[in-house]
Amino acid sequence: MPELRALLFPPEPRRFAGQRWVNVALRSVHLCAVAGLGAGFLHGLPAASWQPWLWVALASGSALGLLFVWSDGRWLVQPPGLAVLAKLGLLGLAPFVPAAGAWLFLGAVALSSVFAHAPARVRHCLLLPARWVPPQVRR
């Protein structure tokens, strides 16, 4: 377990050359895919017309999440990381409650907006018991 903690919580966030541009590119692809997915949810289109956008959104969102976790695993237990799990939960309900699909989608978009634009003290607060995080990485 100590090895996993050391891997997830590096003393300083990891970076690589061009990381910011990879992040921007992935976010751009993700936003385009979410727009295509939204058209399906909001206009009640057949799944075949928006399903490709779903896969692109899942792939680009997963790549973004992996980039954030690789850079600094604290993201998993900070509000934006937890919001991603909540958004996946909302969208995962859509097939089971088709009549609420548009509202579930809009809820996921609202969560994205709130945590993308929240003050840094909200976005970066650590929602993990301190005993799980090595002392040198608590900030």
CA nearest neighbour of 54 among 86, 111, 94, 110:
94
Give the C-alpha separation, 22 to 5, whole Å: 26
SS3 124: coil
Specify the residue for token string 């309900």: 93
For the chain, the helix, strand and coil percentages under 3-state DSSP, each to the nearest 5: 75, 0, 25
pLDDT above 70 (res 139):
no
For the whole model, what pTM was predicted? 0.83
Band of the pLDDT at 88, cuts 50, 70, 90? very high
- Segment 38-62 shows an average pLDDT of 92
